[in-house]
Structure 1
């Protein structure tokens, strides 16, 4: 591989670095560009009677803004990434992740927990985690709830994150790398200065379904990829 080719590929570990960098910026906000997720969420929560109404309004507004010419380009160049990516791609990832994180925060999830962070990544990538939830429910004998999320052990989170990394890469159809000379399908291609609305609407619907309705069932239409989880993956979780 030539030096030029090396500069146009990205490996799975680089994908995770990008996601981690975006997530940190979602939590803390970016000076003169965007407020933190918590600030954005609380602004909506003050304006609506229920958190469900506030979340749906936030999602609608984010999708509308993304369709407006210049919205995404307004984010371009502001994110310093550990891996060099075209500004439009990093901006799209950030905007979509921010929408998911805001949804989870409004639903009462702890954005500082590893478990919530992993679910936000899975939601963005379209990696279905229903098997994880089913196994956990069987293990603990309770209906899925936010508290149960915190009991998902590290080895399961690692498995989900690995699938997320590969998901971003395999969507492009290469062996372990993403060609940066092209936009990443499914992550959000910038078309005419706007966002891929179809993909963003799918992500928005998935985030509400997961975090507000606690429904992690697979929707084959959205091309979600399931994760296989085994009983041994829960060995480190203490019994109740």
Structure 2
């Protein structure tokens, strides 16, 4: 566990310092680039996906399960590490944790998308990836309120890329992540400010959140069937 914690810290800390979370979609787009392309010793989504696929004997479904499991562990570790400082480091640890969990979850969803046949260089797919970070409840709630026009699948397979929708989704996701990490529930906020206990709660919250996002992405990003080209 200590080795994994050091790996996460050394890999994600530079990115967190460079891209401090803020209520701006542009920041999330930069985080998404790190998740997809990789950063230093933090491999990108396609590399992770292909590695899992090889290890799972070419089974896409098994590889996706392995991807989700891996990122749940990573999310738990980085959540625990950023919560350990307690009250003294809270103003610093929350932004770092927000950036860390965004990178981990975005890479997980992007890896799932790649395994399902989506082109990660396609801006429509990238918008769909960040939309999945809202989770099933977040997307359903926004669809009900009409603050989100359609599903991640429809976004990924839309006829054209919509930059305005991309900016809107990015801002929605940043707001959602801030709400999750800050903790609207008083009990969670209090426990995260207690050294050790706060770290344990942070690990559990981040791990559970990552599990839910992974399950939603798995269900939403169905295998893409490309149309056949007649000779």
- Structure 2 partner of 1:64: 73
Matches within 5 A, 1:45-56: 45-48=53-56, 49-56=58-65
- Residues 62 and 99 in structure 1, CA contact (< 8 A), matched pair in contact too: yes
- Residues 113 and 150 in structure 1, CA contact (< 8 A), matched pair in contact too: no
- Residues 100 and 123 in structure 1, CA contact (< 8 A), matched pair in contact too: yes
- Structure 1 partner of 2:139: 128
CA drift at 1:150: 4.8
CA offset digits 1:84-135 (Å, max 9, x no partner):
964333222211111111111111112122211111212113342767448x
- Residues 124 and 158 in structure 2, CA contact (< 8 A), matched pair in contact too: yes
- Residues 121 and 164 in structure 1, CA contact (< 8 A), matched pair in contact too: yes
Aligned counterpart for 1:157 among listed residues 162, 166, 175: 166
- Structure 2 partner of 1:44: 52
SS of 1:149 mapped into structure 2: coil
- Residues 116 and 149 in structure 1, CA contact (< 8 A), matched pair in contact too: no
Aligned counterparts of 1:190 and 1:18: Cα–Cα separation in 2: 26
Whether 1:12 and 2:12 are equivalent positions in the alignment is no
The change in CA–CA distance for 1:195 and 1:93 in structure 2 (over 3 A counts) is farther
Aligned counterparts of 1:61 and 1:31: Cα–Cα separation in 2: 19
TM-score, normalised to structure 2, is 0.58
Aligned counterparts of 2:175 and 2:96: Cα–Cα separation in 1: 22
**Which stretches in structure 1 are left out of the alignment for 5+ residues?**
1-8, 75-83, 135-143, 175-182, 184-188, 215-240
- Structure 2 partner of 1:201: 211
TM-score, normalised to structure 1, is 0.57
Aligned residues: 174
The change in CA–CA distance for 1:112 and 1:191 in structure 2 (over 3 A counts) is farther
CA drift at 1:160: 3.0
Q: Which moved more, 1:86-95 or 1:160-169?
A: 160-169
More helix by share: 2
- Structure 2 partner of 1:108: 117
Matches within 5 A, 1:18-33: 18-32=27-41
Aligned counterparts of 1:98 and 1:51: Cα–Cα separation in 2: 17
- Residues 37 and 44 in structure 2, CA contact (< 8 A), matched pair in contact too: yes
